[in-house]
């Protein structure tokens, strides 16, 4: 009974609270802030209760049957409870931070909180979904209602980034929906448990690769996986910092949730599927890290970092599929790095928000030296840096160690069986180098903000305030969890991994993990060494230069023409629209030719009918009505309407002479039928024009859909 209450409350309470907060904000801004904090606090308490029940082995379901045909199905188990809790706590922390962040220089706060709370409910709905149909419904709500976060400032840059964000979300969502239709057509269900049972006995899943790939597209786009990551580096710099923390820390994980659910239930231990996502993860983690190394914008660097860390997680998903029943290390590493990344980006983006709300600048050359003499901000940011770079005794080290070990374990397995392992050794090298690039770009941020001095404004920066009040609590409390989890991984992190095994269909590690063994420490040390070399040998000499005053400044040497959105996607869409327009014009010309031809054919048959009607009328005039046989003279309408009108007029005359002598019929039916014909003809012309236009749009839409699907096969 409790499950029937807590599950819908977790999803729909924030959505209902969104409108309450909005109406309250129309009366009192402080009261609205209190309402928002109360709602997210209740949500966090409910989520923590749910997580505690999941640790006790309790599993709960809530089903709303026949909702839009397929029904809604929510479930609370280990993984779902974990990420519902992560989402609720992150919303709580960002809401506390938002009070100070939005206090100055921000408008539309009422609107922001409205959409933030609706998105909270939708995000939790995704994480608790037990069917892909339920996942899709809440996923699309989440994508739509998070759009105003990106567009919040309503400046040209923000509107363009929001346009990209929404465009990617809508296009990828349509592809995902098409994939779900195909999955349902083949398997007859979208329930995750039923899919797992059906697919477990399938020897050949090749027929599911196309539907599975289509379903995965929307999730990959939201997660920021290559090549659908284009929204991520654009959206984060323009969105408010609390929104950036949620976009990076939670909303990207809804995409990861979808990919994991698809992998665990449809493509469990499928090596072809695993190789594809291993390749996607490898490219994503490397490209994201590379973009972050070149970036000189604080929030853009963190956004590119999010892309890279999602790549690490995707590598774990791929390795889980490749390792089969021995996937324990990869499965645990995947989940733990998801949690760690959420924690890191909560701390780092809110720290970046502190810089922005004091200076309203994000370029490293403008904010360098700001963090000096700000101990709370310094400690919080440093803990986030140490965690994400994988320094031992910090939580990122534990999850990266598990992922790294899973790659090495598969290499050893292949070598033991006499198979080639070169490609996977290459993946392991990219993994280490990407970790090194993480250390390099995070070191760049840390040194620039907290150790370097601004050449002209350092005294002004030293007077700026440090973290304080609720903002300090929101940033520092999550930051302290990073060393706590990292210092006791066996006691604190392994139970989290075991909690999620059922969802991932994993048996867990077959041996104890010695996180601080010499082998693992050396593996982590390799990445840190690569990071030091990149920072000292690449960033300092090549990504900095002296300006006209002789001061060394950071420069972004990344070629603008390599921007995937401007260099590929937008030109491609423009081309598709142009080609679609060409096909539309061709279709319109065909309609211009076809319709007159059809009219001529119709006219021919109409003339034949006219001849028959003339003959019939002449026969009637010469026999029944005893009139002279003359050719039918049409005064109004057509011969057909004239003939019908004359028949009705004759019938009326007959009735007037017999039954209706006192109340004769005076209607001239020739004109009635002529008027009806004119009206039908006008309606038909309008219909033809509408159908022509509709066919034109349909041709364009079908062509664009075909080209889009072809591009992704």
DSSP 256-310: HHHHHHHHHHTSTT-HHHHHHHHHHHHHHHHHHHHHHHH--BHHHHHHHHHHHHH
* Cβ–Cβ < 8 Å for 337, 517: no
* pLDDT at residue 261, rounded to an integer: 93
Say how far apart CA 416 and CA 162 lie, in whole Å.
50
C-alpha count within 13 angstroms, C-beta hemisphere, residue 575:
9
598 prior amide bond cis, ω within 30: no
Cα 559 to Cα 352, 540, 564: the distances in Å are: 25, 19, 11
Per-residue model confidence as pLDDT tens digits over 126-150: 999 999 999 999 998 998 888 888 8
Which tokens go with 709? 């699907």
Closest by CA to 151, choosing from 163, 137, 139, is: 163
Sign (positive or negative) of CA dihedral 144, 148, 150, 154: positive
- Band of pLDDT at residue 611, cut at 50, 70 and 90: low
- pLDDT given at position 690: 47
pLDDT of residue 237: 80
**Are residues 457 and 367 in contact, defined by beta-carbon separation less than 8 angstroms?**
no
**Average pLDDT value for residue range 3-28:** 87
The total of other beta-carbon atoms located within 10 Å of residue 684's CB is: 10
Spatial separation of the C-alpha atoms in residues 669 and 605, rounded to whole Å = 24
pLDDT at 292: 93
Cα separation, 215 vs 211, whole angstroms? 6
Q: In this structure, are residues 44 and 89 in contact, taking their beta carbons and an 8 Å threshold?
A: yes
pTM of the model: 0.79
- pLDDT single digits (tens) 384-422: 999 999 999 999 999 999 999 999 999 998 888 888 888
pLDDT band at 706 (very low <50, low <70, confident <90, very high): very low
Give the tens place of pLDDT for each residue, 587-606.
767 766 666 666 667 666 65
- Spatial distance between the Cα atoms of 264 and 258, rounded to a whole number of angstroms: 10
Q: What is the dihedral of CA 446, 452, 455, 456, to 10 degrees?
A: 70
* Count of all residues that appear for the chain in the document: 713
Distance spanning both ends of the chain, measured CA to CA: 46
pLDDT tens digit sequence for 520-530: 898 889 999 99
- The answer to whether residue 445 scores a pLDDT higher than 90 is yes
Phi then psi for 297, rounded to 5 degrees? -105, 130
Instruction: Of 50-54, 505-509, 661-665, give the lowest mean pLDDT range.
Output: 661-665
The predicted model gives 607-620 an average pLDDT of: 58
pLDDT beyond 50 at 171: yes
Q: Give the DSSP letter of residue 446.
A: H
Share of the chain above pLDDT 90, in %: 36
Task: Give the confidence band of 235 by pLDDT, cuts at 50, 70, 90.
Answer: confident
Domain locations along the chain: 269-558, 565-711
Instruction: Spell out the alpha helix ranges (H) of 623-668.
Output: 639-657
Tokens 């327009």, residue?
581
| Mean pLDDT confidence for 285-307 | 92
């Amino acid at each position: 009974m409790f499950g029937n209450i807590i599950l819908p409350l977790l999803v729909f309470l924030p959505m209902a609270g969104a409108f309450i907060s909005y109406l309250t904000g129309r009366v009192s801004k402080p009261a609205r802030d209190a309402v928002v904090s109360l709602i997210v606090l209740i949500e966090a308490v409910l989520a923590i209760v749910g997580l505690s029940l999941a640790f006790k082995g309790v599993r709960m379901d809530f089903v709303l049957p026949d909702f839009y045909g397929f029904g809604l199905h929510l479930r609370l188990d280990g993984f779902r409870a974990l990420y519902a809790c992560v989402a609720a706590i992150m919303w709580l922390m960002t809401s506390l931070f938002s009070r100070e962040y939005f206090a100055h220089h921000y408008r539309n706060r009422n609107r922001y909180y409205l959409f933030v709370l609706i998105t909270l409910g939708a995000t939790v709905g995704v994480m608790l979904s037990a069917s892909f149909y339920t996942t899709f419904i809440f996923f699309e709500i989440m994508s739509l209602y998070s759009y105003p976060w990106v567009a919040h400032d309503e400046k040209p840059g923000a509107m363009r980034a929001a346009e990209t964000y929404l465009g990617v979300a809508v296009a990828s969502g349509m592809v995902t929906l098409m994939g779900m239709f195909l999955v349902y057509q083949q398997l007859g269900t979208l329930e995750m448990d039923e899919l797992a049972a059906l697919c477990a006995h399938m020897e050949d899943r090749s027929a599911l690769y196309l539907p599975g790939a289509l379903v995965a597209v929307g999730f990959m786009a939201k997660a920021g996986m290559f090549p659908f990551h284009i929204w991520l580096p654009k959206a984060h710099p323009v969105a408010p910092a609390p929104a950036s923390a949620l976009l990076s820390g939670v909303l990207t994980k809804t995409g990861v949730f979808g990919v994991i659910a698809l992998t665990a239930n449809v493509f469990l231990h499928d090596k072809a599927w695993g190789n594809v996502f291993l390749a996607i993860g490898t490219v994503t983690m490397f490209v994201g890290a590379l973009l972050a190394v070149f970036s000189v914008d604080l929030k853009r660097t963190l956004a590119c970092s999010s892309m890279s860390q999602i790549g690490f997680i995707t590598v774990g998903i791929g390795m889980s599929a490749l390792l089969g029943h021995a996937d324990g290390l990869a499965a645990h590493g995947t989940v733990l790095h998801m949690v760690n990344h959420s924690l890191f980006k909560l701390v780092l983006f809110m720290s970046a928000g502190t810089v922005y709300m004091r200076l309203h600048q994000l370029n490293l050359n403008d904010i360098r030296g700001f963090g000096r003499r700000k101990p709370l901000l310094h400690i919080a940011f440093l803990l986030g840096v140490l965690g994400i770079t994988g320094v031992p005794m910090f939580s990122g080290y534990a999850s990266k160690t598990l992922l790294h070990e899973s790659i090495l374990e598969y290499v050893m397995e292949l070598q033991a069986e006499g198979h080639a392992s070169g490609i996977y050794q290459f993946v392991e090298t990219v993994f280490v180098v990407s970790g090194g690039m993480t250390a390099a770009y995070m070191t760049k941020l840390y040194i620039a903000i907290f150790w370097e001095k601004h050449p002209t404004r350092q005294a002004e920066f030293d007077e700026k305030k440090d973290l304080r009040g609720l903002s300090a609590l929101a940033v520092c409390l999550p930051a302290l969890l990073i060393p706590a989890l990292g210092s006791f991984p066996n006691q604190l992190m392994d139970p989290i991994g075991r909690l999620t095994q059922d969802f991932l269909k994993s048996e867990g590690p077959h041996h104890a993990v010695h996180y601080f063994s010499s082998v693992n420490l050396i593996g982590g040390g390799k990445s840190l060494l690569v990071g030091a070399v990149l920072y000292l040998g690449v960033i300092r000499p090549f990504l900095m230069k002296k300006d006209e005053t002789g001061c060394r400044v950071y420069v972004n040497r990344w070629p603008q023409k390599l921007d995937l959105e401007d260099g590929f996607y937008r030109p491609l869409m423009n081309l598709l629209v142009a080609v679609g327009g060409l096909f539309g014009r061709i279709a319109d010309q065909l309609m211009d030719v076809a319709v007159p031809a059809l009219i001529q054919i119709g006219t021919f048959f109409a003339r034949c009918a006219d001849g028959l009607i003339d003959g019939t009328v002449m026969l009637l005039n010469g026999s029944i009505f005893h009139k002279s046989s003359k050719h039918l003279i049409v005064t109004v309408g057509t011969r057909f309407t004239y003939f019908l009108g004359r028949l009705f007029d004759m019938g009326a005359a007959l009735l007037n002479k017999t039954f209706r002598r006192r109340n004769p019929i005076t209607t001239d039916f020739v004109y009635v039928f002529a008027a009806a014909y004119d009206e039908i003809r006008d309606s038909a012309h309008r219909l033809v024009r509408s159908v022509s236009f509709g066919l034109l749009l349909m041709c364009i839409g079908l062509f664009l859909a075909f080209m889009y699907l072809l591009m992704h096969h």
